[in-house]
Structure formats: structure tokens, C-alpha cells
Amino acid sequence: MKKRWPDETSRRLYRDLQRRLARRIVLAGPENPVRLLLAVDVSYREEDAYVSAVIWNTEKACPVRIYLLRVLAELPYISGMFFIRELPPVVSIIRTFSIEFDLLLLNASGIAHPAGIGLASHAGLYFKKPSFGITDRIPCGAYKMPGLKKGNYTRIMDRERRVIGYVLRSQDYVRPIFITPGHLISPKNALEITIKLPFHARFPEPLRIADIYSRKEFKKEIIEGCR
DNA sequence: GCGACAG
DNA sequence: ATCTTGTCGC
């Protein structure tokens, strides 16, 4: 029989870590202007994690540089503890290439999370940089669906009715995206920054490009190249 | 007991 | 996330 990792003891330690880190989250900012936004995405295949990092110039609204990296995926995906699987690859690519940025954007949840600390928050805390996440859906939070036309949005609230993010209709009649602050950013600023990004699809360009590279281009190239 | 559950 | 082709619809 296959052994389960992390075991109960380890999971409890991760929960404790999350409780301690959650108290350090700052929901205000960014303090400085966001000129370089860094979108990072990861896709998987067997034991490998394919990471892509897109440096995005917000003034010119164009990608500056794209980095690709393959690392080992050490741990499994566990809802509520996504960070144990994806934070290592995210940290790896940024440290490996010494990437500089003003704000980190991930395809993950931020404070809209059962423990109030999703991957986007963990990453922001790790780098001590503003961060937020955009996803298909959230693991936690209450909201109403926004209107069907592009630009409509509604608030996401926790049990105490505090705003923990926004649901944004990024394209006419298309399923909305979920925006939640990670660290060093207010919910409203995460929304405002998102709205200023170019949308050619449901997700903003920086994330869409990061997704394409990690999931299709880069991975395909590596896999084909090994045959 | 049943459904929900970021990527 | 991944396994996978074309196809219907907002």
C-alpha cells in the first residue's frame, strides 16, 4: 500500500505554520508604484513541475522577459495547503534567475481561504512583496454573481462580512474570475490593478501568457525533446 | 451520511 | 493540475 505524505503530524505542523503566518498578512498597499508585475504559473507532469515567470511592464502593457524552469514537484496537492506543492517551484524560479519585481500575481487564492492564507499570501510573505491571486473559483468566501457584461464585479466576503476579494466579469458573458489579495495589498487595489491589465481572454495577459508557457510551450518542448 | 474541496 | 476532439453556445 502506498504511504501518504504528508502524514497527520506534518499536516498539523503546516496548519500551525499557516496560523502563525496568517497574522503577518498586511491588507494595505502597494506602497510603491507597480511598474514590474511578475506573473508566475506552474503546471505538472508526473514528478515534474514546469514553472514560467512573465515579467510584465504595466506602463507599456507588454511582457519584458519570460523565464522557464523545471523542478521536482515534491509534495501532492491538498486543498487548503496548496502552498506546500506550489510555493517551492515559485520560489525556485524567482531565486534561480534573481528576478526583480514590484508585485507578484499568481493563479491561486490569497486570503479567500479557510485559514485566511492561500498560496498568493504565502508567496507575498516569503518575498515581503505585494501579491494577489486570480482564480477560477475560491475555496472559501461568500459572494453574488456579477452582471453579465465585462467590467461588472461583486465583493467576496468572509463570515464576519469583511471584504476579502472580488468576483470580476472580465469578458461579456464569460464565467467571472476571482481576485483576492495575498499580502501588502488592499482588496480594492488588487481589483484596480487587475482591471488596468489588458484582457484578450478571461484571464489578464500576464497570467494567460504564463499559463501558456508552463502548460503548453515549455512542457511540450521538454517532453518532445526527450524522445 | 453527503457534498465540497484554489492548482 | 492531468487524461483528451470536436462541438455547441453565451
Average confidence (pLDDT) per 10 residues, chain A, 227 residues? 79 95 97 98 92 97 96 93 97 98 97 96 98 94 91 94 95 92 98 96 94 78 61
The answer for residues whose C-beta is within 8 angstroms of residue A227's C-beta and 6 or more apart is none
CB distance A102 to A52 below 8 Å: no
Q: What is the CATH number of domain A8-225?
A: 3.30.2170.10
CA distances from A128 to A2, A49, A54, A69, A154 (A): 38, 24, 19, 22, 28
State the nucleotide closest to A117 in CA–C1' terms: B6
Query: C-alpha angle A129/A179/A84, rounded to 5°?
Result: 60
Nucleotides of B under 7 A from a protein CB: 5-7
Per-residue model confidence (pLDDT) at position A87: 98
A225 three-state secondary structure:
helix
The rounded distance, in Å, linking the Cα atoms of A71 and A220 is: 15
A43 CA to C7 C1' in angstroms comes to 26
A200 CA to C1 C1' in angstroms comes to 23
A94 CA to C8 C1' in angstroms comes to 42
State which residue has its Cα closest to the C1' atom of B4.
A139
Per-residue model confidence (pLDDT) at position A215: 87
The predicted model scores a pTM of: 0.94
Per-residue model confidence (pLDDT) at position A173: 87
Per-residue model confidence (pLDDT) at position A227: 56
Which residue blocks in A65-186 are alpha helix, DSSP H? 82-96, 119-127
Per-residue model confidence (pLDDT) at position A46: 87
Closest CA to A141 of A166, A104, A107, A123: A166
- Which residues does nucleic strand C approach, with CB less than 7 A? A 43-45, 77, 107, 148, 173-174, 215, 219
A227 CA to B4 C1' in angstroms comes to 40
A205 three-state secondary structure:
helix
Per-residue model confidence (pLDDT) at position A61: 97
A91 CA to C6 C1' in angstroms comes to 39
